[in-house]
Amino acid sequence: MNNYYDEDNDFLKQEYKNEGKETQIATYEDLNRLVTSKVRGSVLWMVLGLVLSGLTGFFVINAAYKGMFSYEAFESLVKVSVVLQVVTVLAFTFLIYKVSSSVLKLMFVIYSVLTGISFSVLFAGDLNILITAFSVTALLFLILGIYGYVTNEDLTKFGSIATVGLITIILASIVNIFLKSDGVVWFTTILGVIVFVIFIAVDINRIKSNIIAHAVQGDMEILNKIEIMGALNLYLDFINLFLYILRILGRKK
């Protein structure tokens, strides 16, 4: 496949050769509409996931407060949901090439609900801090998301840097189980904010690039899978960034 712009930069020709024959040429406007639609779709699915998580978490903690189930049952429910979260996200990753995009969307919805259950305990804390952390996260997501979408730079290299940062956080957190150092906690928290801020821009940029790379094939099922996989990545970016910002605000208080 060869991609190139004409001299006026207002026309993108994509030639896809199949058995030696040119099968598709699309205008830049058509491609741009498709990319915009799919990136927007990923973001909207992410938002849906956040809404489902929030509503589920609020319902569960509210039910616990009203005595609909015991503390022991609540604790067990949270533990089971955490395990099922891991199972669901692993299944999502391994089955992405084997199941339809509709099944992946259902798995994403299930994962969002499970996350809401496991995070329901957050609603028992200070709601002002919770709202502030969410607002700051949403603002950062908007800024970095826009940058990741509009930039012409390939941000893949920054993704590698963020991955190294994430591994550092994991290793430092394991070591701190024994050290119990507040300094290490602050280090991993600040680094966590930086890492997931980077991931937001990188993942938006990656969704855009993947849509462009596969658009020429005209296979909507592949594009739909890219859309929902992108939504899961953005959801995880948002949730993790939110948790680190919440930790900062909570510790300051």
Backbone angles phi, psi at 58, to 5 degrees: -65, -40
- Classified as helix, coil or strand, 117 is helix
Q: Which two tokens stand for residue 169?
A: 């956080």
Helix ranges restricted to H, the chain:
28-65, 71-95, 101-118, 127-150, 156-179, 182-215, 220-252
pTM of this prediction exceeds 0.85: yes
Q: Which two tokens stand for residue 151?
A: 């930039």
DSSP category for residue 9 = S
Residue-level pLDDT at 252:
64
Tens-digit pLDDT profile for the chain (253 aa)? 333 333 333 333 343 333 333 334 357 788 888 999 999 999 999 999 999 999 999 999 999 999 898 889 999 999 999 999 999 999 999 999 999 999 999 999 999 999 999 999 999 889 999 999 999 999 999 999 999 999 999 998 899 999 999 999 999 999 999 999 999 999 999 999 999 999 999 999 999 999 999 887 778 999 999 999 999 999 999 999 999 999 999 876 5
Neighbours of 97 (CB within 10 A): 8
